[in-house]
Amino acid sequence: MEEHIIEVNSWTELQDALYHDAYQPKLKRFRSSYIYRGLHSLKYDLSSSLNRLGESHLEPHLLRNFRKYSQMDDDDNKSIWNWLAIAQHHGLPTRLLDWTYSPYVALHFATADFSQFHIDGVIWAVNYVDAINYLPDQLKSIIYAEGSHVFTAEMLDRAARSLEDLKSLKEDDFVVFFEPPSMDQRIVNQYALFSMMSNPDTQLHEWIHAKEIRSFKICIPAHLKWEIRDKLDQSNINERVLFPGLDGLATWLKRHYKDIRKEDHE
């Protein structure tokens, strides 16, 4: 589908954009079928950290050694999908991309780094329900039987126990959206889920635009970032909540007490 870009110039316009296409006529409710990903630069696409590494053939070696050296309990029985989620959570390059059901959490990530407030940011939104149409039959049947729209590790295990199994389910590339286990409060508070391509070399933004999947991008102009940031902080959408612990607290306080008036004289 053709890329849909939403330009905003005020906080008020942004509120409408965040809930674009959220109304469900059949339910008569505002129940969005979109997930959101916020990035501090408009230039960023939906490349995974494994895509950016440029060495997708290293994926099994990265995962094998992560499992070997992690010294985690019950490692023999842990699903590969849980291992992928844990690895992504701790910064290992994987094929996964982080998403959230909350447009405001995505807005946080688009405005979290005040050193990048001189450039435009972006929020990507993808309709995860539309993506079900492109799943292999084995995965479709599991989704329909569960009455769900996204997978858990346990659901994925019923059809595929490995990355090789997943790719073999269908010749054409497809995307899976799945919710990670609640490893810590960070996952819970960020209302998080992941996307995963069946082929690690396929980039999600290119795949989406080649399919009948609704998506849009909200451009976050640089001149709005401080206003957005201050209003999010006052709404308690900040690192103190989204990254529970002393690191998150310190990051939030560092930004909260930054005196931007000094920048006017530089």
Give pLDDT tens digits for 18-46.
Answer: 999 999 999 899 999 999 999 999 999 99
Number of domains in the chain: 1
Asked if the model's pLDDT at residue 112 lies above 80, the reply is yes
Q: Which two tokens stand for residue 218?
A: 């909200």
**Assigned domain for 243 exists:** no
Spatial CB neighbours of 234, under 8 Å, sequence gap ≥ 6? none
**Assigned domain for 245 exists:** no
Segment 142-155 mean pLDDT: 96
Widest distance between CA atoms in the chain: 62
pLDDT at site 74 = 53
**Assigned domain for 71 exists:** yes
pLDDT at site 123 = 98
Q: What is the model's pTM?
A: 0.92
**Assigned domain for 196 exists:** yes
Best CA proximity match to 38, nearest among 89, 128, 106, 133:
106
**Assigned domain for 160 exists:** yes
Residues making up the chain, counted from first to last: 266
Asked if the model's pLDDT at residue 71 lies above 90, the reply is no
**Assigned domain for 246 exists:** no
- In DSSP terms, 194 is beta-bridged to 98, 178
Which pLDDT tens digit goes with each residue over 243-259? 999 999 999 999 988 88
**Assigned domain for 130 exists:** yes
Written as one letter, the residue type at 230 is: D
Q: Which residue, chain included where needed, has tokens 């965040």?
A: 18
Within the chain, where are the H helices? 11-18, 49-53, 59-70, 80-89, 103-110, 137-146, 153-157, 163-168, 185-189, 204-209, 225-234, 239-242, 246-256
Would you call 240 exposed, middle or buried from its count of C-beta atoms within 10 A (0-12, 13-18, 19+)?
A: middle
Would you call 220 exposed, middle or buried from its count of C-beta atoms within 10 A (0-12, 13-18, 19+)?
A: buried
Domain that holds residue 137: 5-225
**Assigned domain for 240 exists:** no
Which pLDDT tens digit goes with each residue over 169-224? 999 999 999 998 887 888 889 999 999 999 999 999 999 999 999 999 999 999 99
